[in-house]
Amino acid sequence: MSAPALPALSTEQRSAALAKALEARRARSALLRKVAEDGADGLRHVLSRSDAGDHVAQRIPVLRLLQALPRIGSVRSEQLMKELGIADTRRVRGLGARQRAELLAAVDGR
């Protein structure tokens, strides 16, 4: 059984969808810049925004969030994810309470 075909979008609909996607990417990028400036406090800020239902914060990949932190590069962030048992594709929205607590403890303890 195959998936149903996507509906054909008009030029206006496609343009609106592209603009919405661009705005979402810009908002996530701005939030990640704030994390880079604030460090662990920025991580707490993103997690609290996610808890409050902020879709921008919820859609950030955890790996990118860790890489945005000062002094954590791609290698260390991948190690942290593996140590904490968080999948590489996990987004902030998908983190459990235990994973959040361990992530904050790991970032605070570095």
Return mean pLDDT, the chain: 91
Mean pLDDT, to the nearest integer, of 65-94?
A: 93
- 19-67 tens-digit pLDDT: 999 999 999 999 999 999 888 888 899 999 999 999 999 999 999 999 9
- Predicted TM-score (pTM) of the model is 0.82
Predicted pLDDT at 1: 61
Tokens 């000062």 label which residue? Answer: 70
Provide the pLDDT for residue 42.
85
Dihedrals phi, psi of 86, to nearest 5 degrees: -105, 125
Say which CATH architecture domain 38-108 belongs to.
Orthogonal Bundle (1.10)
- The 10 Å Cβ neighbour count of residue 92 is 23
| 61 contact partners, CB below 8 Å, separation of at least 6 | 89, 90, 91, 92
* Cα angle value 47/24/39 (rounded, 5°): 35
